Structure 1
Amino acid sequence: MGQEHGMAAAVSDLRDIFPGDSEMAREMRGRDWAATPLGDPRNWREGLKIPLRMLLTSRFEMWLGWGPELNFFYNDAYIPTLGIKHPVMLGRPLQEVWSEVYADVADQVARVRNGEATWNKALLLLLERSGFPEETYHSFSYSPLQDADGSVGGLLCIVTEETERVISERHLDTLRRLGLALAGKTDEAAVIQAVQSVLGLDRRDFPFALMQLADGKGAISFHPDSDGLRSLEWDHPADGRVFPLNAKTDWPAGPWAIAPRDAMIVPIPGAPDQPAMGSLILGLNPYRMGDGKIGDFATLLATQIGGALANTATLDRERQRADRVWSHARDLMVVVGTDGIFQSVSPAWTRILGHDVADVIGRHFDDFVLPDDSSSTAQALDEAIHEGDLTGYENRFRTADGGCRWISWHTSMEDGLAYGYGRDITEQKRGLEQLALAEDALRQSQKMEAIGQLTGGVAHDFNNILMAVHSGLELIRKRIESDPQVERLIANGLKATERGAALTQRMLAFARQQELQTEDVDLRQLVLGLMDLLQSSLGPAFDIRTRFPPGLPCVHADTNQLEMALLNLVVNARDAMPEGGTIDICADLRELAAGDVPDLGAGPFVQLTVADRGRGMDHATLARAADPFFTTKGVGKGTGLGLSMVHGFARQLGGALQLESTLGRGTLAHIWLAPDKAQSPALVPADSEAELPVGSRQVVLAVDDDVIILMNTAALLEDLGHEVLEASSGAEALQIMQARPDVSLLVTDQAMPGMTGSQLIQHLRADRPDLPVILATGYGETPVGDGPLVHRLGKPFNQAELQRAIEASTRAAVAG
C-alpha cells in the first residue's frame, strides 16, 4: 500500500511539472529524466519549471533550452517545425538539435547568456527537418531565463514560422514585376528583354531559366552565368513537369550554395485554341524539393509571358491590317508634322482630290486648303497638337481640277505627329440647307418649351402669393367696420390681385405652348411624306427603312407637332451613328396591360418607333435622357430639350415617350399614342336634378404644403360655416382620413413634395371611392382626374369661386 501511494504521489508531482494532456506533456511525463544530465524533474529548479508549465499550456510555437548545454524542450505547436527530429531531440543539447543552423544563431545565444534578449524577423534558416536542407523563414525572440540566484539558467524562444508567407509574397512580387515589365511591350524582342530583366533579378525560386520559342528562334538564357545552358537537351515532353538534371554539369546556382538537382519544363500558352508559343525550362530551388505550389507559380509566369507574346502577335497582325486599310480605305488618312507638312497620305487622296500622292508628301497643308479655311485649319492643328484630339473638324480642300471638297477630320497625336482621318462630306453638306432649316425650327421650338416651363413655374408661385393676398383681403373686408377709406384700399387691393391673376393666366397660357390642332393622322402617309426630306438631308451614309402593318389605325394627334417629334428622333439617331448606318421607322398596334409602360394605363395604343444601331446609352444616361437641358452631344451641339419636347407632346395627347437602349447596341425610341376613336369617360351633366344639400355644414380636409395658403383656405372654409381639418402634406392627410371617417370633402393642392394632389386622391380612392374632391392648382397643365367627383379649381381663387366648387363637387357626389 505504501509503495502504491508513493507511485501515485510521483505521478502527481510530474503532472504539476508537466501539466495538461498535450502530446508533449505526455511525452515529457513518460521520459526517464533521471538517466539524463538534468536528473529527476522533482529536483529541477523553479527557473525551469515555471516557463516549462507556460510552454506546455500555450498554443504558440515555443521551445526553451536549460542548463549549460541548453537542453531542448518544446510544445505541440513546435512539432511541425522540428519535423522528423521529433521526438528524438527532446532534452538534447540545442547545438545538436539544430546543428545545421547553429552557427547562424550562436552569437545571439551568447548574448542571451549575458542577459540580453534578441529578436529576428523572417530569418532565413536552412533546416533539415525533412531529411534534407529546406529553405524556411522564422520570426522569433530569444529571452533569458533567470535562475533563483539571478544568473541566466537558460533561454525561452517564442517562434512563428513564416515560410509560406515569405515565399508567397516573393512569388506575388515576381508576378507583379513581370506584369509591369511586360505592360505596353509591342514586339517580341521587348517581351524577351522584359522577361530577362525580371527572372534574372531574383533567382531564389529559379536559379536559372531558359525560353525556347516555337518560331524557331532558339533558346534564350536569362542569366549572365548560364551561357552553357544553351546546350541543354530540349527533347523532354511538354507535359513532363519535373525532370532530373545531369549531376556532372555545373548548373548555375543563383544565391544558393548548391546547384539545382531538378528542372521544370512549362509550356508558354498561346491564344485560346492555339498551340503553345514555346516553353520555359526552369531550374528548381534545391532547398524547396517537393514544393507542390511551384508548378502553379511557373504556370502563372508562363501565362503572363504567353499573353504578352500573343499581344505582340496581334499587334503585328493589326499593323498588317492597318497597312491594308491604309492602302484600300475609301477615306483620307494622313500624317502631319507639327509644322503642317504632310509626312504621309493614303492613296484615297488621289481618288477624292485628284492629286498624286507623291505631289502631296513634303508639302504644307496651305498648298491644298482653300484660303478662307487656312487660318482655322492652322488653329485646329495647333489644338490637336497641344490641347486634344479633333473630332468632326471640317474644312475645304482644293481638287486637282480646280474644285473643292468638304472633309470632316478626326485626329490623334503620337510621337509628335498628328494622325488624321478625313471623310468626304461634300454631298452631305449639300443635302443639309433643308435639314438645317428644320433643325433651326426645332431648336427654336425647344427654346420656347424651356421658356414655357420656366414661365409656368413662376406663374404657379405667383398664384400662391396672389391667393394669400386675395383671400386675406376678402376676410378682412367681412370683419372690419365700415370705413370708406379702408373699403377703397381693400377694393384696390382686390382689383390688383385680380389683375395679377389675369397676368398669371396669360403666363400659364404661354407655358402650355400653342394649342394642339388634333386630327386623325395616318402614320404611314405622314412618314412617307417626310422620306424625301429625311433621306436627302441625312446623306448617302444613312439608310432609312420603314415598316407599317396593314390595317394600322390612325392616331389622334397634331400633324405638325408629330412631324417635329419624328424629325427630332431621327436627328438623334443620326448623331448616335457618326459613321452612318440604318435608321428604322416602324409602327404597331399593341394592347397594353396596366404597368407595361410607365404613365400609361391598360388598353390599345399605337407604338411609333425610331431605332438606330449607334453607340447606345448606359443606365445612368438613359435615366436622364428625357430631362430638360440634359445632352451628351457636347457644348454647342445640342440643347438637351429635344427628347423632353417629344415627351411633353406625347403626354399632352394622353400618350408617352419610352426609351430603350443598351450601350454599344443602339437605341429604340417609342412614341405611344392613342388610336383613333379612343373614348373618354362620360361626364355627369351639369344640370343634374339630384337633390343637393349645398347649405349643409361639412367636415372638410384642406391640404397644402404652403402654410400661408393652407391657413387662408381654412379661414375661407370656416367663414362659409364648415368644420376644417388641416394637413401640410399628402402623408399627413392620409393619417387624418384614417382617424376621421366623417370627412365629407377634400380640398387639396396639386403640386406638393413627396405626394402630389393626384397621388393623394388615388390613395384615398381605395377606401373612399365616393369622396368629392376639389383639386386646386396653379399649373397650366391640369392633372387628369378620375371623373366628375374631382373638380378642378384654379389658383388664385376667391371665396365665391370656392363656394361654387364646393357646390359642384357635392352635386356630382349626390348624382353619382
Structure 2
Amino acid sequence: MGGEVTRMDLAEAFLAGGGELSRLILAHPWEATSLGAIAGWSPSLRTTVGLILRSPVPIVTLWGEDGIMIYNDAYSDFAGGRHPRLLGSKVREGWPEVADFNDNVMKVGLAGGTLSYQDQELTLHRSGVPEQVWMNLDYSPVIGESGRPEGIVAIVVETTAKVQAERRLRVTAEALARLNAELERRVEERTAERDRVWRNSRDLLAVLRADGVFRNVNPAWTEILGLAPAEVIGRSFHEFIWPEDAEATQGAVDKAATGHELTGFENRYRHKDGTPRWISWHTSAEGEEIFAYGRDITAEKERALALNEAEDRLRQAQKMEAVGQLTGGIAHDFNNLLTGIVGSLQMIQARIAQGRIGELDRYILAARGAADRAAALTHRLLAFSRRQTLDPRPVRINRLVTGMEDLIRRTVGPAIALEVVAAGGLWTTLVDANQLENALLNLCINARDAMPDGGQLTIETANRWFDVRTARNHDLQPGQYVSLCVTDTGVGMTPEVVARAFDPFFTTKPLGQGTGLGLSMIHGFARQSGGQARIYSEPGKGTMVCLYLPRHAGEELTEGEAAEPVSAPRAEHGETVLVVDDEPTVRMLVSEVLGELGYAAIEADDGAAGLQLLRSGRRIDLLVTDVGLPGGMNGRQLADAARELRPGLKVLFITGYAENAAIGHGHLAPGMQVMTKPFSVEAIATRIRAIIEER
C-alpha cells in the first residue's frame, strides 16, 4: 500500500511548483476526459504540462484530437471569466466564438506544422460580452513517444493595449498631419490675403518700431497724405505729425510699444501740401513691432465741427428764448405780486396817517399773501433749476399719500373717482416731504384739468429694481427705487408735447390758467433728490407721470422726531448771537427778533468782518449767517473757520438762493441747521430759541 502511494506521488511530481493551476489540475476529474487519470498520462504530456506551469508567459496545451486545454496561471488571467471552466475542456467548446480559427490551429499543429500571428485580431467573450482583442500567438506541435505530434503548445500574449495605443497615435498623427496641412494652407491664404489687403486698402496701414520709426507703409499713404512709401519708411512719425499732436502721439506710441492696444486714438498728420488730415488709429503689438491701422476721418471731423457749431447756435437761440420766457414770466408775475405788496403798504401808510388803524389788518393780510405767493414762485424757480434747498428726511410714501388723500379728493372734485394703490412693504426713501406733497398735489391738479368731464385718477406706489439696461433707459444709476405714479384717463399728450412737458413755462393750458412751472418744478425736485420723473402718455388714452426716488436704508422718522423743537424760554443769561448778512434789512429783522427774545445781537456784513468778531474775546453763543456772502468767503467757510476758533459753536445758515454745494448738499455737522429765505419772523424766532436751548 505504501509503495503504491509513493508511485502516485512520483507520477504527480511534475505538478510541483505550478501555483494555483497545479492544485486545480490535481483536483480535476480527468477520468471524464479523453486524457484519463493523471497517473496514466504519457511522459510527453507530463513534461509539457510541467514546463508550462513554471512559465510566467500565458501558455496553453491543446492535447489530443479534441484539443483538451491545460494551461498555467498566467493564461488564467488572460481567460478572464472563462477560468476555471476552460481547464479540461475541448478548445472548440471552450472558445466557441473562435472555433473556426482553433480548428485550423489543430489541423496544422497535429500535422506537425507551426503557426505564428502578430497582433491577431479576435473577438472573445471573456466576460460575457463581445470584446475586441489583439494577441501575439505562437503554436508549436508536441512530438510524443510514437514520434508523431500528440498535442500543441500555444503561447498567448495579449497586445490589445499596445494596438489601441498605436491606433490612437496613428489617428492623432494623421489628424496632426491634416491640421498642419490645413494650417499651412490657411497661412498661405492669409499671407496672400494680407498682401492683397496691404496693396488695395484705402486706409493707412503701417509697421513701426517701438521708437516710432516706420518700417513699412502701404500705398494708401500716397492717396491720403500724398506721401510715397519710400518717403516714409525709415523716418520717425515726428516728421509727419501735426505739431500740436506730437506729445499725445508720443505717449500713444509708448503705450502701444508696451503691448496696450489703442482703439480710436485720433491725431492729425500733415499732408504733403501742408494741410492737416485727421486719422483714427487702432494698434496691436507683436515683439518689437507695432502694427497700426489708420482711418481718414477728416471729412467726419469737419461735418461734426459744422454740426457742433450749428447746435451751439441753436442752443444759444433756445437759451435766449428761454431767458426771454423766464424773464417775461417772472416780470409779469412779480409785477402783479409787487402791486399787491406795494399797494397794501401804501394803504397802511395812508390809514395810519388818517388814524384809521382798525382797517390795517386787511392790508397786512393782502401784503403777506402776495409775499407768500412770491416766495412760492421763487421756490418753483429753484426747483426747476434743481437749486432749491431741500430738507430730506426718511419718508414712507404710503403714509404721506394716505395723509393727503382727503385733500386730493376735495381738490379734484366729485366728478373724478380717486383710487390709491399702495404697495405692501414699500421701501423708505430720503426726500423732502413737503416738496413731495407739493409735487403730488400738482400732479393731481394736472390730472384733474386733463379730465374736464370727469374720469379715473389713480395714485400708485411700488418698489422698483432697475438693472443696468433699465436704469440707462430711465437716466438713473442701477439700483433700488420707490415709484410714485399718478395716472389719469384724460385727453393725453402727443409725443411732441411729452418731449417739452418738463420745459420751463411750457403749458398747454389756456392763457392765464397755468404758469408752465408745475412739471418743471416736479422734474427739478426729482432730479435734485437723486431720482427721475417720467411721463407716459397717448392722445385720447390718458397720462401717467411717475416719480422714481432712490431707496433709503434708514427708517422713517416718527412724528415726534420730525417735529420742530418746542418753544424755549427767553434769554436769561446774556446769550449773544452774531448775525452775518450782506443785506441790511435781513440783519435788522434778525437783530430785532433777537432783541425781542432778550438776546444780544452783533452784526457783520461779510465773512471777513464776522471772522474778526469771532477772533475777539466777545461772548458768542450762536452764529446766524447767510450762505452767499461777498468778499471771497461764503457762509459755510465762515462757519468752518468759526468752529476752528470756537469748537462746538452752533450755526444757523439762512439762504435765499440754494447754495447746496456750499452748505454740503444737506450733510451738515451736528449743531448746524439751515433755513430758506423768505421766512416769517415767527419761524426764525422759534428756530433761534430752539437752537440756543438745544442740548
Bucket of the pairwise TM-score, normalised by the shorter protein:
0.3 to 0.5
Greater helix proportion: 2
Greater C-alpha radius of gyration = 2
